[in-house]
Structure 1
Amino acid sequence: MDAHRTSDPVLLTLHAVRVLGFASSGAVAARSGLATADVEERLEDLRARGWTTRSEFAGTGGWSLTDAGRAEDERLLADELHERGARDVVADVNERFGPLNARFLAAVTKWQLRPVGGNAFAPNDHTDFRWDDRVTASLQSAGRQLGTLEGELAAVLPRFAGYAGRYDAAMGRVLAGQHRWVDGVGIDSCHIVWIQVHEDLLATLGLERGTIG
């Protein structure tokens, strides 16, 4: 996405690793909107500075941030937020995201569990189509609201663009009967995208998870 290029490439690279948590060079490139070859070279440079580290896990190689890299990401984010005068917009979106986040998580819980008899924690076997239809309607509504919030964010910080499209793509798979795209791990599921949006908002504002305001 060319819009992402309005942010500093070092910030985009570091922040992509931050949001993804542990990711391949290709995933970092896709998240940052930068060319894979450039990202691979930059990640190595950042490793030389002590900001990133590469490791193998379960046969898969990936990048993550060191404590120093996380601190540098936070510094660059704070500088960007100040330079663009974007704090008020991001803070307002984050405040509205809170209730939306609660509704989204409630919908995911209902997707995973469907009380049966006296068992409030019975796994949802997805045989009650009306139950699932109500949940997917809630998830779709959350996606539409996410799109609205993303538009406001991207207007001041273009690097926020893309989350809603990825969420919608996952939702399309859910509606096609691929249930794991609601909350699956290792794929770009609705839940994974949502977690990344939340982390991006908190990191941009310099907040820790669970912080109010």
Structure 2
Amino acid sequence: MTSPNDVRLQVLHTVRILGYAGNAAVCERAGIPPAQVDEALLDAQAAGQVVWSQFDDDGGWSLTEAGKTLGEVLLAEELDRAGARVEVEAVMAEFESLNRQVTSACTRWQLAEMGMAEQAISLAETVEELARAGEAWAALERQLVAHLPRFDGYCDRFSAALGRARTDPSWVTATDRESAHRIWFELHEDLLATLGRSR
């Protein structure tokens, strides 16, 4: 059974990773039953750690500075219990070059879509470049998962998005779905949060 402290950590961390999300999205991503997520979010709201915002028919939670600070404290404790700080720092160091590669590829593709690119780049070239970064990440993910299982799945989700992008370019950078760029952004935020860093 998941302890209340583990639920609190997972819920706060999931809200940070997603940036803005409703209860159902937090449940799905955190893998925690709805009743526990609902209770944790209401407790966090009462403590000033999350806030609910409503835009027309769309509502979601986001972290406050207090929630971000508490989340980083809980993540630091998790990292120390796992004895994985050195491992995560080493992975982060290697991730930085992959992040530049992915960010550059996505930016060039967005400029190409808007007709503003200095040099033409095709969808196939973009997907292949992103796939190379994904393959390199796969090995790093395996290292992390051995210590922190919650990192499992980023590689598979990224690959799935790229598979869809081969025939539908919106899966490269769209914000309304689990596009390759969105998944990579969440991965980057996960690593930063785990190490108590900001962008």
Aligned to 1:200: 190
Contact 2:7 2:36 in 1 (8 A): no
Contact 2:15 2:61 in 1 (8 A): yes
Aligned to 2:179: 189
Q: Which amino acid in 2 is paired with 1:33?
A: G
2:58 maps to 1:60? yes
Distance apart, 1:178 and its partner CA: 1.1
**Runs of at least 4 residues of structure 1 off by over 6 A?**
none
Distance apart, 1:87 and its partner CA: 0.4
**Unmatched 5+ residue regions in structure 1?**
none
Aligned to 2:96: 98
Looking at structure 2, the residues matched to 58 and 100 of structure 1 have their Cα atoms a distance apart, in angstroms, of 38
2:151 maps to 1:160? yes
* RMSD across aligned positions (CA): 2.4
Q: Which amino acid in 1 is paired with 2:148?
A: L
2:136 maps to 1:150? no
Distance apart, 1:148 and its partner CA: 1.7
> TM-score, length-normalised on structure 1?
0.85
Structure 2 CA distance for partners of 1:140 and 1:12, relative to 1, 3 Å: same
What do the CA deviations read for 1:84-133 (whole angstroms, capped 9, x no partner)?
11101100000000001111112112322349xxx8x3499xxx8x8332
Aligned to 1:112: 110
**Unmatched 5+ residue regions in structure 2?**
none
> TM-score, length-normalised on structure 2?
0.90
2:131 corresponds to which of 113, 134, 140 = 140
What do the CA deviations read for 1:172-208 (whole angstroms, capped 9, x no partner)?
1112x11111000121110011111111111111112
Contact 1:14 1:73 in 2 (8 A): yes
Distance apart, 1:59 and its partner CA: 2.6
Aligned to 1:85: 83
Identity of aligned residues (%): 42
